[in-house]
Structure 1
Amino acid sequence: MDMQASQTRRNWLKSTSAGFGMVALAGLLGHNQPGFAAPAGSPKPLAPKAPHFPAKAKKIIFVFMQGAISQVDTFEYKPELQKNDGKGGPGGGKLTASKFKFQQYGQTGSWFSELLPNLARHADDLCWLRGLHTDTPAHPQAVVQLHTGSANAALTRPSMGAWLLYGLGTENQDLPGYITINPPPNFGGAVNFGSAFLPAHYQGSRINDQGYFPNLESAVSSQLQRKQLDLIQSLNRDLAGKASAPDQVEGIIESYELAFKMQDKVPDLLDISKEPRKVLDAYGVKNGPAGSFARQCVMARRLCEAGVRFVEICQPGWDHHNNLHKGLIDRCQSIDQPVAALLTDLKQRGMLEDTLVLFGSEFGRQPTAQGVDGRDHNITGYPMFLMGAGVKPGFTYGGTDEFGIKATEGRMHTNDLHATLLALMGLDHERLTYRYAGRDFRLTDVAGSVVSEIMA
């Protein structure tokens, strides 16, 4: 094993305690949330489950651009905005044309700005949702709503990935079914990948782009560790069988077992030095912070390939209230090649037959100016794109007005997005419920409509 691979393994196995299960246990006890519900009683709660109806997709990779991409500078060319630069906007403010050149790509003629030349090559593969809207212009609430369906962080709800695990289980019993890489440390924090009142084994497992998953190491041999674990688990099961047992015990038992298995598989799986050099070069992998997002993209493909049900990767820094021009150049350069390479890689490996990619932000940005060089938040009309299993390639659903302010057709609320994603995974959002505190909860709360028009 070369030096880079050894360092990757050391990063993964770095620990401050005896090890097994402490990752999931820390997540379980660290949310500071009331009332984890007891699991449904299955001896293997993460075992694969049959969907409600035939699924079009089996896995999701969510590429989250935290902070809100300015769509009128990247994905949406608005001729009227360009013509009316400096004039008053319909809702007030001064219309500000994009400083970046736009061009049409592919047979679909999709518009992309000069900031995203690599992603633009996938123009005919993408399925655009251009009429999205959400409820709140505040980042923390909007990020939490995108991830959990509810903008009320005080009433914590399970994350989208947790609902998928609850509904479908996971294909690989030696790995977490839900992994989030470099999740936002703020804007809701662990709530965005938590399980809330669902059993704890459905929550996401957090890692970073250096292959660090804390507390997997043990100072003893595997055989002795297995004996130690068997003893601990026998005590845990005795406790779980008592009427006064806390709800968390079953989750702890499950997490110990999973973490024991992960010690062997996870370090090798996320040792991206095993990838051919040409693959790493295609993603733009480099050392240090500049290569962080590219490493995430390679890891996402490897995790998905290994059977992880839901993988999220994150690139922060899109909140351009100022420094819009240079800021967009920097951010787009950091994601254009890696995202395009991820899409190409998935396509070449045939993984898009069962994998769905979702790309987007918590909301968009206004076509009017904020300060000298910025744009404010826009929750009334913004785009995301899908690619892969179950959706129409080269298709656009919805759109905004001539300036890009409001969704005027094909309007989709966050609840509609969630309902549609669940449907693509074979789940009826109205039937995927969990009873807690005397009522049935679901990801889409009491709203949400499936947009079948985008489905292949």
Structure 2
Amino acid sequence: MLNRNDPFELRRLQMTRRAFFSRTSAGVGAAALAALDQSRGFASTGQSVGGLPNLPHHAPKAKRAIYLFMSGAPSQMDMWDHKPEMADWFDKDLPESIRKGQRLTTMTSGQDRFPIAPSIYKFAPHGSAGTMASELVPHMANKVDEIALVKSMYTEAINHDPAITYICTGNQLPGKASLGAWLNYGLGSENENLPAFVVMTATWTGRKEAQALYNRLWGSGFLPSKYQGVALRSSGDPVLYLSNPDGIDASVRRRMLDSLSRINASTAERIGDPETNARIAQYEMAFRMQTSVPELTDLSDEPKDVLDLYGPDVLTPGTFANCCLMARRMAERGVRFTQIFHRGWDQHLTLPKDLPNQCRDVDQPSAGLLTDLRRRGLLDDTLVVWGGEFGRTIYCQGKLTNTNYGRDHHPKCFTVWLAGAGVQGGVVHGETDEFGYNIVNDPVHIRDLNATILHLMGIDHERFTYPFQGLDQKLTGVEESRVVNEILA
């Protein structure tokens, strides 16, 4: 007899030939609608449904999280990591004693020189502690007393795809479960009519060439497929295959789903593949989302003073401003994890042309999101994270002039910020050397960042595991990682 509490037996069944074909027959439509496996009748009450019975491990500071991901790697020394000494080093070579033979990308490994490119942007002190911030981020500069600025992040990955895969899933190799999928699996949902994990990809106005984003970045990996993120689109149906086909009304759809559910339930009883039950839940979620998603995306009830917080692009679908407002609306409806990807931060050659555009895209909306959450009493239990996959070099890639420079990938140090639930505002954690090249105090690995996010959500990253391929898989892997308590309230 099948033991449904034995994860090894369930995984063995999932890999049978019959289960394989059953699972693949669900198609891309079911995958796009993956969300919950809950009973009907539950809406946004603030109570969690689903998740693991032993979670949370401790009282959570955050009920939900919003992750603002700057894909392509923002230039930390042009935004947050002020290095005034570099003005005297213009066009001088980065000393080998600083570079220390660091691994380089193929884009700069052939350069004869590594000329230092000081930032051309003005910095000024802000907030009660005089935190330095660039003129590129005037709105977030006024929020420094509300954020914890971590200037000592680092990673081993030096190219985009492995780096973004690493920070999103805990491993440079594809196939692992994403952070949002882990949270969905562990904590369940506060709203059965919306997915627990939603992803948006915003438009951008910087460098038009941008790194691809693959859905494995919000995928469920070895976890059941119902835990993967649902992509919310800016045009057409917000979620693919959500609308009924022509000639099919809600009553017909309901009868069809009831019949399909009976067939799938019979299949689940006969085969025992948990993915069959996931498929039933996906279809039911899709039916409920036909009402909840249009209400979510209708911004006509937002007052002007709220729209003004996010800037002039807020009503343009797909913009970062629009996505941030959508993230707030999802937070108040109980969506567990929202991730916004903003591309175009890969400024190799024309940083002064492209970086200001990128910052204009995200600066006011990010600050507006914090203000909006605080006004509504949501920031106290909502975690907000901002950052990319690695940083950028102090030396120039290509030709350096007084008005133009580019920067290559730099995994050895970069900056992220956190705000909201459980985060101590006004803190600057970590320090880099005078060249902004190496960490000199309080290094924070991306595993530590993920451990800290889990901790704030009430989860001990060491005890949060899933059995797969003979191992107890963890988001933070087997390497040493820690919660960054120094930035917590």
Same fold (TM over 0.5): yes
Alignment of 1:233-382 (within 5 A): 233-243=261-271, 246-286=273-313, 292-372=319-399, 373-382=405-414
CA distance in 1, matches of 2:314, 2:419: 29
1:173 match:
192
Partner of 1:406: 438
Instruction: Report the 3-state secondary structure (helix = DSSP H, G, I; strand = E; otherwise coil) of the residue aligned with 1:405.
Output: coil
Return the offset for 1:226: 1.7
Residue aligning to 2:241: 215
Amino acid at match of 1:126: I
The separation in 1 between residues aligned to 2:223 and 2:482, in whole angstroms, is: 23
Unaligned runs of 5+ residues in structure 2 are: 1-25, 41-47, 100-112, 204-209, 400-404
Equivalent in the alignment of 2:108: none
Contact 2:344 2:358 in 1 (8 A): yes
Measured in 1, the distance between the counterparts of 2:238 and 2:79 equals 33
Counterpart in the other structure of 2:103: none
Q: Tell me, in whole angstroms, the C-alpha distance in 2 between the residues paired with 1:202 and 1:183.
A: 22
1:227 matched residue in structure 2: 255
| Distance apart, 1:265 and its partner CA | 0.8
Q: Which residue of 1 aligns with 2:215?
A: 190
CA–CA distance in 1 between the matches of 2:358 and 2:451?
30
Cα drift, residue 181 of structure 1: 0.5
1:450 and 2:483 matched = yes
Report the more deviating stretch, 81-90 or 356-365. 81-90
In 1, distance between residues paired with 2:306 and 2:367?
12
Of 424, 428, 446 in structure 2, the residue corresponding to residue 392 of structure 1 is: 424
TM-score, reference length from structure 2: 0.82
Count of paired positions: 423
Partners of 2:152 and 2:414 within 8 A in 1: yes
Unaligned runs of 5+ in 1: 1-20, 30-38
Q: 2:153 aligns to what SS in structure 1?
A: strand
In structure 1, distance between residues paired with 2:334 and 2:318: 25
- Equivalent position to 2:176, from 148, 157, 161: 157
1:117 to 124, 138, 141: 138
Q: What secondary structure does 1:385 align onto? A: strand
Q: 1:149 to 1:89 in 2, by over 3 A?
A: same
Matched, 1:144 2:144: no
Question: How many angstroms does 1:247 deviate by?
Answer: 4.5
Given that residues 322 and 370 in structure 1 are in contact (C-alpha distance below 8 angstroms), is that contact kept between their aligned partners in structure 2?
Answer: yes
The alignment's TM-score, normalised by the length of structure 1, stands at 0.88
Partner Cα separation in structure 2 for residue 441 and residue 435 of structure 1:
6
Distance 1:309 1:387 in 2: 16
With over 3 angstroms needed to count, the CA separation of the structure-2 counterparts of 1:209 and 1:407, relative to structure 1, is farther
Rounded to whole Å, the distance in 2 between the matches of 1:197 and 1:217 is: 29
After superposing the two structures, state which structure 1 stretch, 372-381 or 222-231, moved more. Answer: 222-231
Amino-acid identity (%): 40
Rounded Cα–Cα distance in structure 2 between residues aligned with 1:296 and 1:411: 31
Distance 1:24 1:379 in 2: 37
Cα deviation digits, residues 393-446 of structure 1 (max 9, x gap)? 101221211111112211111111111110111101111111112221010110
1:54 paired residue among 55, 59, 71: 59
Matched position secondary structure for 1:366: strand
Report the CA distance shift for 1:105/1:446 in structure 2 as closer, same or farther (over 3 A): same
Q: Does 1:83 align with 2:108?
A: no
Q: Secondary structure at the match of 2:65?
A: strand
Q: Which amino acid aligns with 1:197?
A: F
